[in-house]
Amino acid sequence: MLRLLQFSTRFNYRYLPVQLGIMATFACMPFWLRMPYAAFTYDPLYGMGFLITLPIIWTILTWLLAGMPGFAHIMNNVVRFVFTVAIIALAAWMWLSVRWSFMTGHDQPNVAQSAALQFSMIALWVVAVASAAPPPRFIASILVFNGIWNSAIAILQVANKGAIGLSFLGEFKIAVDASNANVLLSNGVRWLRPSGLLPHPNTLAGILLVGLLATTVFILSEKGLLRRIGIAAAVFILWGFLLTFSRAGILGFAAGAFALLPFIIPYLRIKAVRRAIFIAITALIFTSGLFFSSYRQLILTRAGVGTESVELRSIADRLIFSLFAYRAVTESNQNLFFGVGAGNFPWRSSYYLVETDYDLRGNNVHHVFLSAWVETGLVGYTLFVIALFMGFQAGLQSVTPRTQKHREANALAKDDQIARAAFLAGVVALGIVGLFDHYPWTMIQFQALWWGLLATASVQVIASKPPSEIKE
């Protein structure tokens, strides 16, 4: 273990409590579990009640108490500095939006306060991660483990046609014959879409696709045992992922895998790794083919072939809320530049619905970029895009180090470099998912996952010398 840590990212006693908090946060991302003290209905502090908030707060506090270790390295790199400033400024802008938010005009400012508080926690946590993240291969291992046990739950839920008795971990009471179940309908047959310990199958798909991309770290390993574990894990996670029937998830995974290709190509010159890549791709293609042959009719139904009302309703609902979002953005200059307020669009859309006869309740628009614009206006949207772009650029800098010292350190930590590439692929995947779903923007677990992947990818490998002896 000590040898593994020798060339990791600034690992010393000051970083240990922070890094344990970061790893615990990633481990808690597949849980929707709320703590006993938390309100189960909407509350100004609703976002503080999830299990994941405990390690987030731990990480922030231990990082601050340790004197913000690693923060100086952010200040010495323009790209990482702009990334940090942009995400903190976005959180501050959300707080300002309380003053003009839509629900403030209806004597309910707590909506924007809750959203701003939640994102502020994420922003501070992300800065701590960008400053003092543990070795990326550690995070990748957690993501793969998350993918494995969540795939097992998904498979069991499908086999049981409902919940499997994990309510103490936050499992929802799902059942294939329940009126509110997420199901596929085909020729009168109802098929349950598993959601794991999360509220929706699409969110489970988000966890699984990131874990699936992270298996690359094992598949490209120089150790034969790890390569075999990686291939087996990839096949198992893929099956669980496909069981969610998430259209956005499949598109996201395809985009993430494509983004990962340029980083994999250099490893093709290593014979053992090249063979592992070939076996992995063959196994994944075979698994996908087997799944298609087993669930062909359901896949066609999910793809929109036919006239099943569930799928038509899903598409129609997304279109309606997208139109409401465009209406909100364009109905006044204030909304255009300042937005309707952080977290306020579901309430704004509910007021639009009063004017219609749609059998719907207020909801988020299923598009993260449009969500950012409609809630925080052009100002917040600009900060969001800058943070996303500069965070990705910082990750690219770390994957392709610029200085000789960083290149030498990276040569001693190849697994970390592969992990960084997998994280950037995960960011791309969730970005594509965000074109069709809102959870990377709205849910604290996936805010932490999306921005946390960016932050972890951006931390450069530093050799065993202390930070003061290495210059950018």
pLDDT at residue number 303 = 75
Beta-carbon count within 10 A of 80 CB: 27
437-445 average pLDDT score: 95
Q: Is 50 helix (H, G, I), strand (E, B) or coil?
A: strand
Mean model confidence pLDDT for the chain: 88
Kindly give, in sequence order, each residue whose CB lies less than 8 Å from that of residue 269, ignoring residues fewer than 6 positions away: none
Dihedral sign for Cα atoms in the order 376, 378, 380, 386 = positive
For the stretch 452-469, pLDDT in tens is 999 999 886 543 333 333
Tell me the whole-structure pTM to 2 decimals.
Answer: 0.90
Q: Which of 81-90, 169-178, 427-436, 457-466 has the lowest mean pLDDT?
A: 457-466
Considering just the CA atoms, what is the radius of gyration of the chain in Å? 22
Beta-bridged to residue 185, according to DSSP, are: 190
**What one-character DSSP code corresponds to residue 8?**
S
Give the residue from 259, 269, 212 showing the smallest Cα distance to 237.
212
Chain centroid to CA 270: how far? 32
Alpha-carbon span 216 to 195, nearest angstrom:
24
Please state, in angstroms and rounded to a whole number, the distance separating the CA atoms of residues 359 and 184. Answer: 20
Percent of the chain's residues with pLDDT above 70: 88
The answer on pLDDT for 151 being more than 90 is yes
- Would residue 196 be called left, alpha or beta, if left means φ above 0 and alpha means ψ between -120 and 50 degrees? left
Read off the pLDDT band of 297 (50, 70, 90): confident
* Of 96-100, 113-117, 155-159, 312-316, minimum mean pLDDT range: 312-316
Identity of residue 96? L
Q: How far, in Å, CA of 172 to CA of 382, rounded?
A: 37
Beta partners for 189?
186
Compute the C-alpha angle 144/147/153, nearest 5°: 150
Q: Which of 264-278, 329-343, 344-358, 379-393 has the highest mean pLDDT?
A: 379-393
C-alpha distance from residue 167 to each of 51, 174, 180, 246 (Å): 14, 10, 17, 24
Domain ranges of the chain: 135-465
Exposure b/e, 97-129, CB count within 10 A at least 16 = b? bbebbbbbeeebbbbbbbbbbbbbbbbbbbbbb
Taking alpha carbons only, the member of 167, 169, 238, 174 closest to residue 200 is 174
- Both structure tokens of 408: 């030498």
Over residues 16-65, the pLDDT tens digits come to: 999 999 999 999 999 999 988 776 666 677 888 899 999 999 999 999 99
Q: What is the pLDDT of residue 240?
A: 97
* 168 vs 410, higher pLDDT: 168
At residue 310, the pLDDT reads 58
Element (H, E) at 390: helix 368-399
Give per-residue pLDDT as tens, 93-148: 999 999 999 888 776 768 899 999 999 999 999 999 999 999 999 999 999 999 99
Which pLDDT band, with edges at 50, 70 and 90, does 471 fall under?
Answer: very low
What token pair was written down for 288?
A: 């996908």
